[in-house]
Structure 1
Amino acid sequence: MFDHLGFRVRDLEASRRFYDAVAQSLGLSTIDNSETSFLVCRSARDHIPFLWVGTDRPAFWTDGHITSASPLHLAFKAATRAQVDAFHKAALSHGGTDNGAPGPRGPAEMNYYGAYVLDPDGNNVEAGCRN
């Protein structure tokens, strides 16, 4: 449904450590985009859709955009419960803050297993699977 998403961060190095670990735990990649940004995607060869993470303000954003003024919620699709567990562990080891340990979420009929962490800028980042 989406081609790409993007958001600004305060500390690119801290965010890169966090998203490198999170991406790897989910079988994704981070690739350089510029000196001030990187992408989270399937791989360097399969880079769309992507998540743009950077410190610069893209030209099409307005002056009113403030980095993480309103934290966002970002959910990555995991293939297995083991990936969700690995995501949570990797995130906490690389600058994330626990915001919900791995476990069942929602009504039982959703069959959803997820975990939540806050990234270095306070954004709620989730990984979950439906199996």
Structure 2
Amino acid sequence: MPVSHVAIRVSDIASSKAFYDAALAPLGTKIAMSFQDGKMLGYGGDKGPDFWIREVTGDDAKPQNRPVHVAFEAKSKEEVQAFYDAAIAAGGKDNGAPGPRPQYTPNYYGAFVHDPEGNNIEAVYFAPTA
């Protein structure tokens, strides 16, 4: 079952936008839509947004007890590395350097970074199998 889109809540749209603009650029993903005076941003490609961030305030802005994990599919190991480097440079925290993850699948190559809100953001490449 394909997923159409995912949305996460953030407490600071400016810092989250800076992080995701940088981290997702190597994957060819950019802002495709903006609503609520820039407080809700949709990232995607030609088909439109498939990943959203939305600023919330008050009780909704309290840190999440269970951070979200989102994985973006990359086209190569080099894209995974570029995502990781850009995300770290944009203030992300390492949660798993680029490398194979054979415990998931034999052809899984990924990198994990915590975003400014503590969410686990990943880029993954599925290498062709022989």
TM-score normalised by structure 2 residue count: 0.84
- Paired position in structure 1 for 2:20: 19
Aligned length, in residue pairs: 123
Query: Sequence identity of aligned pairs in percent?
Result: 37
Does 1:122 find its partner at 2:102? no
Where 2:96 maps in the other structure, the secondary structure is strand
d(CA) in 1 for partners of 2:80 and 2:61?
32
After superposing on structure 2, the runs of 4+ consecutive aligned residues of structure 1 that deviate more than 3 Å are 63-67
- Paired position in structure 1 for 2:64: 68
RMSD of aligned residue pairs (Cα, Å): 2.1
- Paired position in structure 1 for 2:102: 106
Check the 8 A contact 1:8/1:68 in 2, yes or no: no
Structure 1 unaligned blocks of 5 or more:
58-62
Where 2:71 maps in the other structure, the secondary structure is strand
Could you say if the C-alpha distance between residues 109 and 74 of structure 1 is closer, same or farther in structure 2, counting changes exceeding 3 Å? closer
Check the 8 A contact 2:32/2:45 in 1, yes or no: no
- 1:69 Cα offset (Å): 3.0
TM-score normalised by structure 1 residue count: 0.84
**Amino acid of the residue matched to residue 11 of structure 1?**
D
- Paired position in structure 2 for 1:52: 52
Deviates more, 1:103-112 or 1:3-12: 103-112
- Relative to its length, the structure with more helix (as a share) is 2
